[in-house]
A and B are shown apart, each in its own frame.
Chain A
């Protein structure tokens, strides 16, 4: 038995640690790789220019998908606006939960897909969207649905969409920089040929290459760790709103039993869903390693964390 407020502050602390770790890691990697690039091209300190270029490249697409996230959802197959009469429980539950949080009402959409799932998106409170599949609305009762929707509303409330966008811009930047350095070194070293700090230069190059090889993977792993941490936070937030862990627990149990993958999901939006839309997965020692690559923590672990709050 744990106090919900304790869980919340612990979650915030852990999340803070992972996120700061990520930004620390990113800055070190970007520093080293840009320096190596700078050394390679012959002017030592000028590497940060590449960072700017990489940031623009990787930021552009993410920025667009972040800014238009609420409209992109419309282009997802079969997402139609929900209305109060037809989707009474969905509509009124969100209405009530937002009332309790003092949030504006998000736009609601329904995807006709029998795989039960739901996600939230939108760049700010005014443009937030919650989408649920017909499978979810049919299979869950009102209490369970409230648990799931409160989870999504917590994502909106915590600006998780913004956080994950920033993080994925950084991951993209690192991947691009690493890629450039690896490609550049493929053609051999041209730049500065006969200076005194040649040794220093090659040391920077070696470090740069090691980082260029490993950093993209590591940064993605941290990105996924952040995503999983935010899921735990959203679960705890859901309990804080509804005060009924049982609702979300039984909803998660139902969602776990359903092995049907969601057709409308893709890798870019996977972290937004209540449960991993791709399903599948392995257990045991291999599962632990595979777990590092998941956007969502295993459902058993989430249920365990929720049971502690009962």
Chain B
């Protein structure tokens, strides 16, 4: 009598665990999918923001054609990445705009007349914000995939993952599980204070 009660209790606990773990995997997958869309979403926002920024700051930075060329170039890369739908490309494109910030800073520092102009401040703020947004959108994808993969690999949830065949999530795609670091990324970043 007591034994059957005990067995039923154990079964209920196990069943509860299996169901909640299964639901974790399924909902994580959905959230990972949504977070990939979020990256695309933020990049789209970036691409739409750039023309606005250019038109508003044009009057102040008319001698700095280089900046605008780079902005337009970044926009093209972003649009192309969104069209391709490849996460890796999208994530690379997001970094392009933030690399513009140091250039812009140099320009602002060397031109006392535009330093402190509200429009230019706005431009820099928006640039930093939009590249932060892409960075944080990527962080969400990375974190979610990491949680998912940790749960998938650790005992006892790995049993449930293998029973239901949950495959490993790629996160930001890294072939053969390695992160490629380009030559340019190894350089010490320049900081001007």
Instruction: Point out residues on A near B: beta carbons under 8 Å.
Output: 88-89, 92, 95-97, 99-102, 142
Contact = CB atoms under 8 A, between A and B. Distances in A.
Contact of B133 (A88, A99, A101, A102): A99
Contacts of B38: 99
B35 interface: yes
Interface in B121-166: 125, 128-129, 132-133, 136-137, 139-140, 143-144
Interface string B11-35: 0000000000000000000010001
A100 B140 contact: yes
Nearest to A98: B136
Interface string B31-54: 100010010001000000000000
Nearest to B140: A100
Contacts, number: 29
A12 B95 CA distance: 34
Contacts of A96: 129, 132-133, 136
A96 B133 CA distance: 5
Interface of B: 31, 35, 38, 42, 125, 128-129, 132-133, 136-137, 139-140, 143-144
A142 B101 CA distance: 15
A142 B128 contact: yes
Contact of A101 (B42, B132, B140): B140
Contact of B137 (A88, A100, A142): A100
Contacts of B133: 95-96, 99
A100 B143 contact: yes
Given A89-B125, A95-B133, A96-B132, 8 more contacts: A88-B125, A88-B129, A92-B129, A99-B38, A99-B42, A100-B136, A100-B137, A102-B35
Contacts of A101: 140
B125 A100 contact: no
B16 to A, nearest CB: 20
Nearest to A97: B136
Among A89, A96, A142, the one with the most B-chain Cβ atoms within 10 Å of its Cβ is: A96
A99 B140 CA distance: 7
Top 6 closest pairs, chain A to chain B, by CB: A100-B136, A92-B129, A100-B139, A96-B136, A99-B136, A96-B132
A142 B38 CA distance: 23
Nearest to B125: A88
Contact of B31 (A97, A102, A142): A102
Contacts of A100: 136-137, 139-140, 143
A27 to B, nearest CB: 23
A99 B45 CA distance: 14
Contacts of B144: 102
Contacts of B140: 99-102
A96 B38 CA distance: 12
Please indicate which of the listed interface residues B128, B132, B137 has the most CB atoms of chain A within 10 Å of its own CB: B132
A89 to B, nearest CB: 8
A96 B125 CA distance: 13
B189 to A, nearest CB: 14
A275 to B, nearest CB: 25
A62 to B, nearest CB: 30
7 contacts: A89-B125, A95-B133, A96-B129, A97-B136, A99-B133, A100-B136, A100-B139
